Amino acid sequence: MVDLDNISNYRQFDKLGMLDHLHAFPEQCQKAWEKVQRFELPHLHTRISNVVILGMGGSAIGGDFVRRLAMTEANASAWVHRDYGLPAFVDENTLVIASSYSGNTEETLSAFTKSLGTRSKKLAITSGGKLKELAQKEGIPVFIIDYQAPPRAAFPHSFVPLVGIFQKLGLLGDKSADMQEAVDVLKRLSGELIEANPLTSNPAKQLASKLHGRVAVIYGAEMLSEVARRWKGEFNENSKTWAFFESFPELNHNTVVGYEFPPEAKERILVLMLRSSSLHPRNQLRYDVTSTLLAKAGIAHEFVEARGKNTLAQMLSLVLLGDYASFYLSMLNEVDPTSTDAINLVKQFLAQSPISSD
C-alpha cells in the first residue's frame, strides 16, 4: 500500500497537479470573493422573485450551497436545474444563471438556449466555450472564471461568486465578515491537511486510510447535506471509488431500516456523518440515534465535525477536508485523481448524436 507520508510517491499518480489546486483552495476563495465584489449586475436583475441555476457536476454544486444559504434569508426561491430544457415556471421574474466551467456542458447549454426564448433575466458563469460566446452575443452579463483547473477543483470560483451575486441581489445579507472567517479557518485547516503533515495528525490522511477498500456513505443535515453531495462526487471523481450520500432527517424515515441486508455489505461500508454545532437540535438528536442504530447493525461509522462559527466557514472547512481525503484515497488506490475517462467516454458517445435545438 502507498505510504501517504512518503510524498515522493505522489508524483507517480498525480501527474496533472491536483494537489496544487488543494493547496490553492483558501487563496482562491479569497480571490473569487474580491472579484465578485467588482462585478456589476444590471439593475433589472434585482427585480426577481426566483433564481434558477443551471449546471452539472462541479459547476452545479455551488448552486446547491448558495440555495441552502438563501433558504434562511431570502424572500425569493432558488432552484438548481441539472437537466436539459427549462423548468416551466421560468418567467420575467426569474433570474437564470448558467454555470458551466468549460462553457460546453450540453445539458447547461440546452437549458440556457431554452431560456433565451423567455423574458427571464440571465447571467452566465464560465471560463469560456460556447456559453461565453452565446451570452456575449446576446448581450448577457458573464462572470469570467480565470482559474485553470478541472471543474471540481475550481469550486471556489463556482460557489463564492454566487454568494456575492446573491448578496448583490438582496437575497443574502453582507457575507464579507463570514467569508473572511471562512478563509482564515481554511488557512489554518490547510496546515493540518497538507501532505507534509503526517498520518498521525492529519485528519484527511486518516479518513482516506479508513476508507481504503470500503464504500463511503456520507450523511449530512441541512447545509451539510450539500457538503455530503460534494464529498460523494469527489470520492467518485478523484478516488475512482463508489460513494453515496444521504440527508437527515429523510434518511431516518427509510434508510435506517435497510441496515440488515445484505450482511456482506456491512464489512465494506464506512458511514461518515458530517456534523456541526449549528444544526437544529432535533437533527443533532437524529445523529445520535442513527449512530446507535449503525452500531447495533455492526456498520462502521464516525462523526466528522465542521470548523468555524458561521455557516460559510463550516461548509467550506468540510469541503476542503473532503477534497483532501479523496485525493489521499486516490493515492492509496494508485489512480490519477484528475482523470475522468468514463465521463469523457460518455461525452464522446453522446457527440455521435448531436443534441437538437430544442
CA torsion, ordered 158, 164, 170, 171, to nearest 10 deg = 40
Q: Do residues 217 and 309 touch, judged by C-beta distance below 8 A?
A: no
**Of 231, 175, 213, 208, nearest in space to 328 by CA:** 208
Whether 81 is a known active-site residue: answer no
> Residue 205: which residues within 8 A CB-CB, separation 6 or more?
4, 5, 197, 198, 199, 325, 328
- Give the up-direction half-sphere exposure of residue 255: CA atoms within 13 A in the CB hemisphere: 18
- Bridge pairing between strands 94-100 and 142-144: unpaired
> Is 347 known to be catalytic?
yes
Q: From 32, 5, 18, select the one nearest 316 (Cα to Cα).
A: 32
**How far apart are alpha carbons 171 and 166 in whole angstroms?**
5
Catalytic residue among 253, 260, 264, 296: 253
* Residue whose C-alpha cell reads 447549454 in the numeric block: 109
Angle (CA) 217-219-225 rounded to 5° is: 125
| Annotated catalytic residue, options 133, 267, 280, 347 | 347
Taking CA atoms, 281 is separated from 107, 286, 287, 335, 344, in Å, by 39, 9, 10, 41, 43
Fill in the DSSP letter of residue 49.
S
Check if 280 is active-site.
Answer: no
Cell (9 digits) for 82:
441539472
Residues sharing a CB contact under 8 Å with residue 139, sequence separation 6 or more, in sequence order:
none
Q: Which H or E run includes 168?
A: helix 155-169
Q: Which three cell numbers stand for residue 184?
A: 482564515
For the range 294-299, what are the long-range contacts, defined as Cβ-Cβ under 8 Å and sequence gap of 24 or more?
294/259, 297/259, 297/260, 297/266, 298/266, 299/259, 299/266, 299/269, 299/271
DSSP code at position 38: T
Identified catalytic residue from 107, 222, 237, 246:
237
Residues recognised as catalytic: 237, 253, 347
